[in-house]
Structure 1
Amino acid sequence: MASVNEVRLVDEAARLLGEHGPAGLSLRKVAAAAGVSTMPVYTLFGDKEGLLAAMHREGFRRLGAALGAVPRTADALADLVALGLAYRQAALSSPHLYGLMFGRTVPQFQPSVADREAADATYQPLVDGVARCQEAGVFRPGDPRRVALHLWAVAHGMVNLELNGQLPELGPVEELYLEALAHAGLPFAATK
């Protein structure tokens, strides 16, 4: 778990990255924006690569916490939808971190193997949610990872469109998001 100071610096760095792009991000600028000396920033992160890695980790920590906070109920499908909503909320709460986590905001940044593995772990609740829907007879049997990938692709696409202001004005955004999730699940629905 990151310290309060580290989280504050990561948030400042994410804001700078969002406002100025990769060229506008440096440890000195982060320190200035946070109103601290450069020493603690260099001590915490070492260099820009270390700062980007910390931002990547914090983004996935937040996403994992949001997904982990979704309560498990007796309704597997409602729980799966709740995971989708938590995913969207995590992205909207930290849009600049989301861009670094899933985009090419900083093309030269490559997370470490350990950081990629930690990021991959945030995908497991979706796989588990799909498996629960299969066990409950809501979805047809099959590889839950394949279904989860399809659902994630739709959720991720909708979130990216929303964050980039590219969703057509067809109604309330959350309504469009839920509709997209519902349509994404249709090919996997069990026939009765």
Structure 2
Amino acid sequence: MATRERIVEAAAELLATGGREAVSTRAVSAAAGVQAPTIYRLFGDKQGLLDAVAGNGIAEYLHSKTVHDPDPDPVADLRRGWDLHVGFGLAHPALYALVFGEPRPGAESPAERQSAAVLAGIIRRVAEAGRLRVSEERAAHLVHSTGRGITLTLIGMAPEQRDPALSEFARESVITTITTDGPGRTEAGTGPVATAVTLRALLPELTVLTDAERGLLREWLDRVAVGGGAAPRAS
């Protein structure tokens, strides 16, 4: 483990100071004081090493999102999570770009999956509170994609050119789109969706139903959440 950690730390330092291109097997070997075959034996290939660097670096970020006690208002937690995400990206641009800058459909890194799981937990709390007007999956995708886009945009700007309000505008636009003002306070046309999303989040607590019944109810609720409560057209 000492050798593995030394290699990961050396690669992380090269990434932070020189970007992804600086993380070559030769450079990492020299910085960590090991032979190249050791890197391949421990990580498989360069991508395996980069995934290890990403996972090690993202752990600090995820800890900062989960170390606090949950806010009584889950939407406040969503705001805090957004700000932490953007702040982390600006503080660690090379690491952020490594984790979130190159999507790999169907082959997400462990760091991406961990980050997605934390976001899903926050979104689930919003749904359980009756504050979500779209499906959990749609809400998580919108928050993640918009937050990632804003962060990468800000990273690409010179520090003196960054508009500090840009992230706040994007954050509030997304929150307005996916949440309601409060439990039971939905706009016209969104009531069935918000109700379905809330009940969907609370399904595990409906122990009076069998697994099969909960599965069927889940299918119906998902259909309402995605379809907006509209009746299907007759063929």
TM-score category (smaller protein): 0.7 to 0.9
- In structure 2, the residue corresponding to 1:165 is in which secondary structure? coil
Which residue is 1:181 aligned to?
171
Aligned equivalents of 2:106, 2:178: Cα separation in 1: 34
Once the two structures are TM-superposed, the CA of residue 45 in structure 1 deviates from its matched residue by 4.4
Provide the secondary structure at the position in 1 that maps to 2:109.
Answer: helix
TM-score (norm 2): 0.61
| Shift, 1:48, TM fit | 2.9
Instruction: Give the deviation of 1:169 after TM superposition.
Output: 4.8
- Superposed CA deviations along residues 73-111 of structure 1, whole A, max 9, x for unmatched, are 21211111111112122222322121111223xx9xx79
Tell me if structure 2 keeps the 8 A contact 1:16–1:30.
Answer: no
| Contact 1:27 1:42 (8 Å CA) reproduced | no
1:161-172 mapped onto 2 (5 Å cutoff): 161-165=153-157, 169=161, 171=163
Partner of 2:114: 121
In the other structure, the counterpart of 1:12 is 13
Whole-Å Cα distance in 2 between the matches of residues 179 and 167 of structure 1?
18
Deviations 1:118-169 (A, max 9, x none): 53132122222223223323332x4212111111111111100111117995
Q: CA deviation at 1:7?
A: 4.5
Structure 1 position 81 matched with structure 2 position 79? yes
Q: Which runs of 5+ in 2 are unaligned?
A: 186-235
The whole-number CA distance in structure 1 between the counterparts of 2:160 and 2:91 is 21
Structure number, greater radius of gyration:
2
SS at match of 1:38: coil
Q: Percent identity?
A: 25
8 Å contact kept, 2:143–2:174: yes
Report the Cα distance in structure 1 between the residues aligned to 2:43 and 2:117, rounded to whole angstroms: 29
* 2:48 is the alignment partner of 1:55: no
For the residues of structure 2 that align with 1:93 and 1:168, how far apart are their CA atoms?
A: 15
1:150 paired with 2:142, answer: yes
Alpha-carbon distance in structure 2 between the residues aligned to 1:133 and 1:147: 10
The root-mean-square deviation of aligned C-alpha atoms, in Å, is: 3.4
Hey, what's the Cα distance between the residues in 2 that align with 1:64 and 1:176?
Answer: 23
* Residue pair 1:31, 1:41 contacting (<8 A) in 2 also: no
> Once structures 1 and 2 are overlaid, which stretch shifts more, 151-160 or 48-57?
48-57
Contact 2:74-2:122 within 8 A present in 1 as well: yes
- Give the TM-score taking structure 1 as reference length: 0.73
Is 1:139 the counterpart of 2:132? The answer is: yes
Q: How many residues align?
A: 179
